[in-house]
Chain A
Amino acid sequence: MTKRNTPVRGTRAVLGSVAALALCAGAAQAEMVFTPGEGDFNWDSLDAFAAGHDLSGQSLSIFGPWRGDDQALVETVLAYFEQATGADVSYASSETYEQQIVIDTEAGSPPNIAILPQPGLIADLVKKGYVTPLGEETADWLRENYAAGESWVSLGSFEGKDGKQLYAFPYKIDVKSLVFYVPENFEDAGYEVPETMEDLKALTEQIAAEGETPWCIGLGSGGATGWPATDWVEDMMLRVQPPEVYDQWVTNEVKFDDPKVIEAIEEFGWFAKNDAFVNGGAGAVATTDFRESPAGLFASPPQCYMHHQASFIPTFFPEGTEMGVDADFFYMPAYAEKDLGQPVLGAGTLAFITKDSEASRAFIEFLQTPIAHEIWMAQSGFLTPYKEANAELYGSPPLKKMGEILLDATTFRFDASDLMPGAVGAGSFWTGMVDYVGGKSAEDVANAIQKSWDANK
């Protein structure tokens, strides 16, 4: 008999952060988590915003990617918006949120505000005319108030009906160039945290030579299997080529099968395709679930010593793991000899208006108040480039340390696979990486990915 149901969409994991863990234990309430007026928050900004906006009786629907604990967190922020304006805010999400937002906008029943982590998808919606531009004022505001403002403006700008302009407002970002490790395991074995890529490779070889396994790498993610490898390749790309090449790669001015790209893929292969370097051997990389992969760090005896992943991964560490004590991270270092500075790969979510209203506009303005950032950063899993937000408020030392990595970055680049067309960035790039660790050559894989890109032009 037929059953019709549930597409599982292994959601592209780009969100969240270190101390989400701390929150798992303590319940989040949707009511005011911090009493207005107390602490080092910019409460004035909330008062000023409240004075300028009265939206009583209006409603605002927001559709975002956050579910579970993250949903509880975003709702704490929305509570302040509700209180300040009197508007009735409803937040919704879905496991298949990318598909859902397409269906809703196509069918003419969009939410007021949509928040998505995929600029590629937003570009698609803009092209179809479903998104309202934010205006030059907002773009100026970003330039002025976000660190490296210009790069954020260009991230949120898309080609629409009236040319290229700002459509989406970056809110909440995520650092990806991190290597997680257990400090005491390093101490027990006498390893040092590497400062350069040369050191990292030497350490990898040393660990393997001692009969231990240096890395845990897992690409499994249901329908999205393969994506963790794209982060690896992007990180390596920024470490072997200048950022300009990275930008050209994203727009396909540099073809996917260009030797420069193949070099980056092979840099990843140096780690992942060596049986002695990865837990379970190269054959296990593609099927090990990315959520279970880091468990090897905490096994006894350790199954691996290092794990490359974005800032959200501690959520999947064993229960009770305390960041900074039981586990820690270091910046995925750059080659000393290449002199490309300290590139940082990241990701983030962008808010945009899919149904214009006074409340929608007010919400975008709300995101320009420091308090909208501080409420979340004082809890967990939130990084912001907003200079006015009080960095002292970061909810935990690891979060603050990530903030510092972000500040120290000489180059910040957004996750390339999220910027590429969906068929590549959420399709052939993923599957290509699975084929690559499965034994195909970097050239073959790159060729196939380029072909799928050509087919979608």
Chain B
Amino acid sequence: MEGMAGQKSTLTWAVHISVALLVALWLFPTVGLLVSSFRTAEQISNSGWWSAFSAQKGQLPAIRISGEEHEDGGLYVIDGNLFGSAETTLSAWGTSSREPEAYEPDTEVELKDGWTISVAKSGDFRLTAPQSFEGERLPRVFATATTPPEFTLQNYKNVLFGTTAGAGVGQAFLNTLTVAIPATVIPILVAAFAAYALAWMEFPGRALLIAAVVALLVVPLQLALIPLLQLHNAIGIGKGYLGVWLAHTGFGLPLAIYLLRNYMVGLPKDIIENARVDGASDFQIFTKIVLPLSFPALASFAIFQFLWTWNDLLVALVFLGTDDDRLVLTARLVNLMGSRGGQWEILATSAFVSIVVPLIVFFAMQKYLVRGLLAGSVK
């Protein structure tokens, strides 16, 4: 028996390690994006996100000297510091792109027209000339330096409060909620009634209807856009919330009915039969018994439907339109990226801005999700 216990503990360790590996593998890409959202565009494209936490030694892009000139002993002088951070230390520098590491710190170097320049380890520089710098192009300095880790909240400021998007994000948030809440609840309600009818009521054509629902699970969404918008325009709904709700309802229904019916069929038969004998009508049985019992299944479908109405862009754009005061969050964030497509820092930041609510919903309702799915598909 002792051998078996030993075997068991190695096995437990193996399990811990495998799970840790699996989680790490799954988490890595997301963490990469999260870290990137706190870095500047330049940092993102110059070094990997995993190196963001350690000091980096490397050649910085050319830094142009700038500052106010003043006179000092007959010379015109500009002095200042090359770096934004006090912890950056210089190890070599140069003034030509061909020789970026030509000089040691503190060397004084002569440039054209009697100009001289020196750069210290700390990045302090001193540029001198016999004449005024007025109207002259100031030199560039190529620095090889060690820079400490640096993070910024600027990306989030831009996305949430920037001039092009800022004013609209709050409104877009409300718009998304206005789309997502009814687009989640309406299909559940409609599907619950239908699922009950398909599970517990006897009527001709039931099997055919179930087959049809299953068949419709697979219709690709892109097909439906044009015919449906045409229809909305023809019957006067046009573009608006009603249209979006109906569209999301239509697209979400097959899965909702499928999951809910599977769940309801599995409910104990006696309870329903007894209620029938006691003279309860189907409406009463449904609202008083079946609906409360089906809560886990309802909740799990609600999570899925909410997640995809929240993340949806296409349906909202087509059926709600692109008017400024009706843009949903995803559309607003996409517009932020400018006419020419994405930039990493904005993409990363907007991904996290839009993911927050779905994550909260997911973590809050996780236990229902599991229970609902369990009953819906486990036989």
Contact = CB atoms under 8 A, between A and B. Distances in A.
A pairs with B:
yes
Interface of A: 1-7, 10-11, 13, 15-16, 27-28, 61, 63, 65-72, 90-96, 100, 103-104, 106-109, 182, 184-185, 188-189, 221-222, 291-292, 295, 298-302, 312, 315-316, 318-319, 325-326
14 contacts: A4-B308, A6-B312, A28-B163, A95-B313, A95-B337, A96-B317, A100-B317, A103-B229, A107-B233, A184-B62, A221-B341, A300-B59, A319-B42, A325-B137
A92 B324 contact: yes
Contacts of A325: 64, 137
A67 B42 CA distance: 22
Contacts of B41: 318-319
Contact of A67 (B140, B229, B255, B337): B337
Given A103-B225, A108-B233, A300 B62 contact: yes
B304 A1 contact: yes
Contacts of B100: 300-301
Interface string B215-234: 00000010001100110111
B323 A94 contact: no
Interface of B: 40-42, 45, 59-62, 64, 96-98, 100, 137, 140, 142, 163-164, 221, 225-226, 229-230, 232-234, 238-239, 251, 255, 304, 307-308, 311-315, 317-318, 321-324, 330-331, 334-343
A207 to B, nearest CB: 12
B322 A63 contact: yes
B229 A107 contact: yes
B164 A69 contact: yes
Given A94-B334, A189-B98, 19 more contacts: A2-B308, A5-B314, A6-B334, A7-B314, A13-B339, A27-B163, A61-B323, A63-B322, A67-B339, A90-B323, A94-B322, A94-B335, A95-B337, A100-B318, A103-B318, A188-B96, A300-B100, A302-B97, A325-B137
Nearest to A3: B308
A291 B341 contact: yes
A318 B63 CA distance: 12
A312 B317 CA distance: 27
Contacts of B308: 2-5
Contacts of A28: 163
Contacts of A316: 340, 343
B42 A318 contact: yes
Contacts of A6: 311-314, 330, 334
A269 to B, nearest CB: 26
A189 B99 CA distance: 10
A106 B226 contact: yes
A218 to B, nearest CB: 12
B339 A70 contact: yes
A13 B340 contact: yes
Contact of B335 (A1, A68, A109, A302): A68
Interface-central residue, B64, B315, B340, B343, by most chain A CB under 10 Å: B340
Contacts of A103: 225-226, 229, 318
Contacts of B318: 100, 103
Query: Which of A2, A4, A182, A188 has the most C-beta atoms of chain B within 10 angstroms of its own C-beta?
Result: A4
Sort A-B residue pairs by CB-CB distance and give the 9 closest, nearest first.
A68-B338, A107-B229, A92-B322, A6-B313, A13-B340, A27-B163, A188-B96, A95-B334, A108-B233
B140 A69 contact: no
B64 A68 contact: no
Most buried by B among A65, A91, A104: A104
A15 B311 contact: no
Contacts of A326: 62, 64
A369 to B, nearest CB: 24
Nearest to A313: B340
Given A2-B255, A292-B45, A185 B97 contact: yes
Given A106-B226, A188-B98, A301-B59, A68 B40 contact: no
Given A71-B164, A100-B318, A319-B41, A108 B234 contact: yes
Nearest to A28: B163
A11 B61 contact: no
A216 to B, nearest CB: 13
B339 A66 contact: yes
A61 to B, nearest CB: 8
Given A16-B339, A106-B226, A185-B97, A93 B164 contact: no
B272 to A, nearest CB: 29
Contact of A5 (B229, B313, B338): B313
B98 to A, nearest CB: 5
A117 to B, nearest CB: 9
* Most-contacted residue by chain A among B59, B163, B308, B324 (CB, 10 A): B163
B68 to A, nearest CB: 18
Contacts of A10: 341
Nearest to A108: B233
Nearest to A92: B322
Contacts of B335: 67-68, 71, 93-95
Contacts of B251: 4
A72 B339 contact: no
A2 B100 CA distance: 53
A347 to B, nearest CB: 12
Given A63-B322, A298-B62, A15 B341 contact: no
Nearest to A210: B98
Given A68-B335, A292-B45, A300-B62, A109 B239 contact: yes
A188 B102 CA distance: 13
A109 B96 contact: no
A109 B238 CA distance: 7
Contacts of A16: 339-340
- Greatest chain B CB density within 10 A among A70, A299, A300 is at A300
A72 B335 CA distance: 11
A103 B243 CA distance: 15
A15 B339 CA distance: 8
A220 B324 CA distance: 30
A61 B239 CA distance: 14
A68 B164 contact: yes
A92 B307 CA distance: 26
A15 B340 CA distance: 8
A103 B62 CA distance: 48
A302 B62 CA distance: 10
Given A7-B314, A66-B339, A298 B324 contact: no
A107 B304 CA distance: 30
B17 to A, nearest CB: 30
B371 to A, nearest CB: 16
